[in-house]
């Protein structure tokens, strides 16, 4: 039973990393500074970072040891969440960014 659960966890991490990579690409195309770095060949570990505004960063880490969301502003930690709460916060971010216009479009609209 535990081997099966471990395998399911590895598959879950892999799926999460693939989605983080896609999110980073979409955000970068929309003008955000975003990246997703993976560790190892199995793509079960990753570090996703996006700059939402000057001095405002979100870091999402996926590893065999767990999942964590850290939000920083001016190098100070605003919020740190782990596990299901971290994933829920990532979903909220993705939904919010889907609704927002890219920074370049906003600038064109304002001028």
The alpha carbon of 65 is separated from its chain's Cα centroid by a whole number of angstroms, namely: 17
Enter the tokens of residue 16. 């999460």
Give pLDDT, residue 104: 52
pLDDT digits (tens, 9 = 90+) for 61-73: 999 889 999 999 9
- Distance of alpha carbon 2 from alpha carbon 92, whole angstroms: 32
pLDDT digits (tens, 9 = 90+) for 2-45: 999 999 999 999 999 999 999 999 999 989 999 999 987 777 89
Judged against a pLDDT cut of 50, whether residue 108 lies above it is answered with: no
Higher pLDDT, 104 or 22: 22
State the residue range of the domain holding 25.
2-110
Domain count, the chain: 1
Question: In sequence order, which residues have a C-beta less than 8 Å from that of residue 82 and are 6 or more positions away?
Answer: 66, 67, 68, 69
Please give the backbone phi and psi of residue 75, each rounded to the nearest 5 degrees, phi first.
Answer: 65, 15
């Amino acid at each position: 039973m535990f081997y099966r659960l471990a395998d399911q966890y590895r598959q879950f991490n892999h799926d999460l990393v693939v989605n983080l990579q896609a999110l980073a690409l979409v955000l970068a195309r929309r003008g955000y500074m975003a990246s997703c770095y993976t560790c190892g060949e199995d793509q079960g570990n990753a570090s996703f970072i996006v700059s939402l505004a000057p001095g405002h960063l979100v870091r999402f880490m996926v590893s065999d040891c767990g999942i964590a969301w850290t939000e920083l502003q001016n190098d100070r930690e605003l919020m740190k969440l782990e596990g299901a709460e971290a994933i829920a916060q990532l979903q909220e971010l993705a939904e919010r960014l889907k609704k927002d216009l890219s920074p370049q479009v906003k600038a064109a609209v304002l001028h």
